[in-house]
Amino acid sequence: MSDNHSQNPDLDENNSVLTDAAAATRENHMLSEGTEPISLWVILGSAMIVLIGGGVLFSGSLFDYKNFSKADYVRDDAPNSGPKEILPKTAIVAYSKIGEKKSVSCKGCHGNNGEGGSAIPPLAGSEWVNGPSMRPAMIILNGMKGEISVAGKSYNGNMPSQGAGLTAQDLAGVLNYIRTSFGNTSDKLITVEMAQKAIDATKERAGGQLTSSELNEKYNRDLEGEPLDPETLVHPKTLEPVAAE
Ligand code: HEC
């Protein structure tokens, strides 16, 4: 029985594993779902959608640069494009902005929110900050030491002078900033001219840190000068009032 191969292949002892395997290799493999190759048309179609979609978005009709920048954002002019237009700000905003920059060192001790620490008095809710303006101005320029009572608590620390390199404009900025921040709500504006009065008074002193008793005896008053409405429009850098149009 040499030719029973065709009649009953399953029982054919001569059937070779090798020939079966070769037959299987010739079959088309079924790929598992999701791993089949993508048609070239699908790829080209997607590319067209991206190109057209991008064109519509950036053509300006749907995508507007203004939607993605802050309302008061002023873009720098290109070099040599002529003088830049600087928008005036209200005096209180312009002064406080300068003061905020100059108050980084204060926050190192008095805290980011003027809350103070166990041995450092707060600027928030302090009668020394919010009271007569000559006292905080003199503390900043001369520093202070010894006993002081702030918002009902006693301290006995040491604050070094912060006057080095501080201009009258910086000092006015810091005063306005600390008197209108951390919950403080002074409605009086300290002008550059007023701040200069404290710088002059500091020059007349022998020097050294102030004590709370010297502050109360000699400097328990407001800085003198022409008052300025905090809402006056000023140039944000020079702080000069700008004529309203
Ligand atoms: C090195 C830490 C330190 C720095 C920096 C510092 N202070 Fe002070 N400040 C103190 C201490 C301590 C006292 C309390 C001194 C005392 O007990 O006599 C004080 C007291 C004061 C007071 C009076 C008490 C109160 O809390 O209201 C004011 C106002 C004040 N500082 C404002 C400022 C401002 C504004 C700046 C930044 C320009 C500044 N300080 C920077 C440590 C500091």
The yes-or-no verdict on residue 9 having pLDDT over 60 is no
The yes-or-no verdict on residue 213 having pLDDT over 90 is yes
Mean pLDDT in residue range 214-218:
98
What CATH number was assigned to the domain covering residues 89-234?
A: 1.10.760.10
Using CA atoms in the order 213, 218, 220, 222, what is the torsion angle rounded to 10 degrees? -150
- Reported as a single tens digit per residue, the pLDDT across 130-178 is 999 999 999 999 999 999 999 999 999 999 999 999 999 999 999 999 9
Q: How far is the CA of 49 from the centre of ligand 1 (A)?
A: 63
Q: How far is the CA of 138 from the centre of ligand 1 (A)?
A: 11
Confidence of residue 239 (pLDDT cuts 50, 70, 90): very high
Find out whether the beta carbon of 140 lies less than 6 Å from any atom of ligand 1: yes
Q: How far is the CA of 241 from the centre of ligand 1 (A)?
A: 31
Q: How far apart are CA 32 and CA 38, in angstroms?
A: 14
Among residues of the chain, what percentage have pLDDT more than 90?
67
Find out whether the beta carbon of 137 lies less than 6 Å from any atom of ligand 1: no
On the 0-12 / 13-18 / 19+ scale of CB atoms within 10 A, 77 is: exposed
79: tokens are 């070099």
For the ranges 7-11, 17-21, 164-168, which has the lowest average pLDDT? 7-11
DSSP-derived secondary structure for 56-92: HHHTTSS--GGGGS-TT--PPPPTTS-PPP---EEHH
Which residue would you say has higher pLDDT here, 223 or 84? 223
The yes-or-no verdict on residue 202 having pLDDT over 80 is yes
The yes-or-no verdict on residue 61 having pLDDT over 80 is no
Domain locations in the chain?
89-234
Atom of ligand 1 nearest to the CA of 126: 27
Find out whether the beta carbon of 154 lies less than 6 Å from any atom of ligand 1: no
- Main-chain phi, psi angles of 181, to 5 degrees: -115, 175
Residue 93 in contact with residue 232, Cβ under 8 Å? no
Find all residues with CB under 8 Å of 226, minimum gap 6, and list them. 191, 193
Q: For residue 192, which of 166, 218, 156 has the smallest C-alpha distance?
A: 166
Q: Which amino acid makes up residue 218?
A: K
Confidence of residue 60 (pLDDT cuts 50, 70, 90): low
